[in-house]
């Protein structure tokens, strides 16, 4: 009987880890995001409904970023410190300190528009609205 109780307790811990709520807060996007979405969509050449995207805010650490692991066990990217993260199919998570950072927000919008987490040669970096190297 004790062994059965131990096995059930261990299984319960694993089940709890799989269904633990994510550690982000869903928020309404600031009005400027609709403008950024339209500009980014135009640049990328993919039309999509802005309303399809869910927006979440993560508490950030001392660097102003968050660990992807903190989102929950369903996230595929692990051990990544980031300012923003696109989660399939239409969720964009941002570090609280970056919610007004146009480059970060538009970068994640691009992931949603192209429906890919990749950053290869085909990733339209110019569509972030800012030159990442110069900050202009």
pLDDT recorded at residue 11 = 38
- Give the domain ranges of the chain: 22-128
Give the model's confidence band at 58: pLDDT under 50 very low, under 70 low, under 90 confident, else very high.
Answer: confident
- Please give the model's pTM, rounded to 2 decimal places: 0.74
- Which tops the pLDDT comparison, 73 or 7? 73
Q: CA–CA separation, 85 vs 80, rounded Å? A: 10
Architecture of domain 22-128: 2-Layer Sandwich (3.30)
Asked whether the CA dihedral 58, 114, 53, 103 is positive or negative, the reply is positive
């Amino acid at each position: 009987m004790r062994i059965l109780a131990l096995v059930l307790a261990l299984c319960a811990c694993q089940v709890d880890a799989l269904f633990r709520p994510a550690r982000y807060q869903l928020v309404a996007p600031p009005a400027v995001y609709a403008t950024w979405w339209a500009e980014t969509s135009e640049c990328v050449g993919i039309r999509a409904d802005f309303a399809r995207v869910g927006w979440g805010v993560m508490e950030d650490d001392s660097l102003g970023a968050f660990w992807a692991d903190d989102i929950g066990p369903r996230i595929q990217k692990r051990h990544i410190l980031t300012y923003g993260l696109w989660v399939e199919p239409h969720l964009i998570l941002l570090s609280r300190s970056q919610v007004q950072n146009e480059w970060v927000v538009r970068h994640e919008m691009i992931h949603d528009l192209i429906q890919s987490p990749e950053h290869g040669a085909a990733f339209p970096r110019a569509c972030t609205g800012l030159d990442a190297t110069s900050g202009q």
